[in-house]
Amino acid sequence: MASGVKPRVKVPKKASAGDVITIKTLISHKMESGQRKDGDGNVIPRSIINRFVADFNGENVIDVTLEPAISTNPYFQFDATVPESGEFHFTWYDDDGDVYETKKKITVS
C-alpha cells in the first residue's frame, strides 16, 4: 500500500565533540487517520506510521509514538549530542509492517 514513501533527513556533516546539533526529519506518507470516509460513506481504514526512532552509534536519541493526529508527511525536529564520529540511524515503522530506514554519517573533530 504505502507507495512513494521517502524519508528525508537533515544532519550536519561536521561537528565538534560534545556539540548540540539539530536534526530535521520528514517522511512522505499520507497518514490515513481512520476518521475519513470515502465517496460512498465507508470509513477509510487507518494506515499510519506508528513509531519513529533515531539512534546514534547504538545509543537512543529519540523514540516517538505516533497517533493518527500526526499530520500527513510526519515531520520531526530535535537536538542531539554527538560525542564522537559515527552514524545516525533513523527508523520509521508503518502500520502495515513496513520499516523504512535511513542513515547519515557525521564527522566529529
Partner 1 sequence: MELSRRKLLAVGASSFALLSLGTSAALASKADEAIAKFTGGADAGEGALELIAPEIAENGNTVPIEINAPGAVSVTVLADGNPVPNVATFNFGKLNASRSASTRIRLSKTQNVIAVAKMEDGSFQMAKANVKVTIGGCGG
Task: Work out whether 106 is an interface residue with partner 1 (CB under 8 A).
Answer: no
CA distance 3 to 103: 20
Does 84 engage in binding with partner 1 (CB under 8 A)? no
Other Cβ atoms closer than 10 A to 17: 11
Query: How near is the Cβ of 44 to partner 1 at its closest, in Å?
Result: 9
Interface residue with partner 1 among 2, 76, 93, 102 (CB under 8 A) is: 76
Q: Which residues contact 45 (CB under 8 A, 6 or more apart)?
A: 32, 34
Q: By CB under 8 A, which span of 1-9, 29-37, 90-98, 100-108 interacts with partner 1?
A: 29-37
15 binds partner 1 (CB under 8 A): no
Give the burial string for 36-75 (b: 16+ CB within 10 Å, else e).
eeeeeeeeeeebbbeebebbbeeeebeeeebeeebeeebe
Residues within window 32-51 making contact with partner 1, judged by CB under 8 A: 33, 35-37, 39
According to CB under 8 A, which one of 1, 10, 45, 63 is a site residue for partner 1? 63
- Which residues make up the interface to partner 1 (CB under 8 A)? 20-21, 33, 35-37, 39, 54-56, 59-72, 74-83
